[in-house]
Structure 1
Amino acid sequence: MLKIGSVVWGVRDMQAAIRFWSAALDYAPLRDPNDDWAILVPRSGSGPQLALKLVTSGVHTHTRHHLDLYADDQAAEVERLLALGAQRVDWRYGPEADYVVLADPDGNRFCVIDKS
């Protein structure tokens, strides 16, 4: 049986990514990060790892990853993420969309899903 051990997230600014994702998800580095690799884990001890890998490709030339983040209070979480440095992405939403597309400070896109 397989299980997800890490979600690998390509980034171009390692330190900014560590700061953003640690604050956004309440994660912390598992060990001292390298210049090109870091593993973040939940402070609570439960949940998937997020591995950050330094890449040279741009977000507009190569899809490097994608996350769906589930939220009980989508609007509050979107505002919190924006305050941490996320940006809204110009997106064409369908009438039944239960998600908001954002980008982290490095331009990586992710969705905040309304699970209420």
Structure 2
Amino acid sequence: MLRLGFPTVGVADLERAVRFWTSALDLVDSPEWASDHWRTLEHADGSGRALGLMLSESPAERRPRVHLDLVVDTTAEQEAEVARLVELGAEKIDWDDYPPNPDFVVLADPDGNPFCVVDLSRAPSN
């Protein structure tokens, strides 16, 4: 049976990426499949795999078609998490495609991979 696994991010500096993502999302570096080219990050509570990091020589895309959305429940949490992620090494991106009153903030990880921090309290409703 085909199943969806977990997202994988291509990175230029594997050790730096491990430090950033484990700190950013309270994940742990797993020995599963660990190599000079791959790391599996797991949830710290032992509930399973969360993120793959793969050494990549290709540059990060400014507007990737697939990206990570990290979610919080309030605007205050979003502001605090954005500040914490920047302190960990993320960078705010000058995003020229924000809609009016956006519910998300676009950041890039230390390798330049864009991701969003989404405030679910401001997400559009149908």
- TM-score, normalized by length of structure 2? 0.82
- Which residue in 2 is equivalent to 1:111? 116
- Which residue in 2 is equivalent to 1:76? 80
Displacement after TM superposition at 1:5 (Å): 2.3
Displacement after TM superposition at 1:47 (Å): 6.0
Task: Give 1:84's aligned amino acid.
Answer: L
Alignment of 1:1-116 (within 5 A): 3-31=3-31, 33-46=34-47, 48-60=49-61, 63=64, 65-72=66-73, 73-92=77-96, 93-116=98-121
- TM-score, normalized by length of structure 1? 0.89
Secondary structure, in 3 states, of the residue corresponding to 1:112?
Answer: strand
Secondary structure, in 3 states, of the residue corresponding to 1:91?
Answer: coil
Displacement after TM superposition at 1:48 (Å): 5.0
Number of aligned positions between the proteins: 116
Aligned-residue identity in percent: 49
Displacement after TM superposition at 1:79 (Å): 0.5
Which segment is superposed worse, 64-73 or 87-96? 64-73
Task: Give 1:76's aligned amino acid.
Answer: A
Displacement after TM superposition at 1:46 (Å): 3.0
1:23-66 deviation per Cα after TM superposition (whole angstroms, max 9, x unaligned): 00000112163110000001022365201011110014894851
Displacement after TM superposition at 1:76 (Å): 0.6
List runs of 5+ in structure 1 lacking aligned partners.
Answer: none
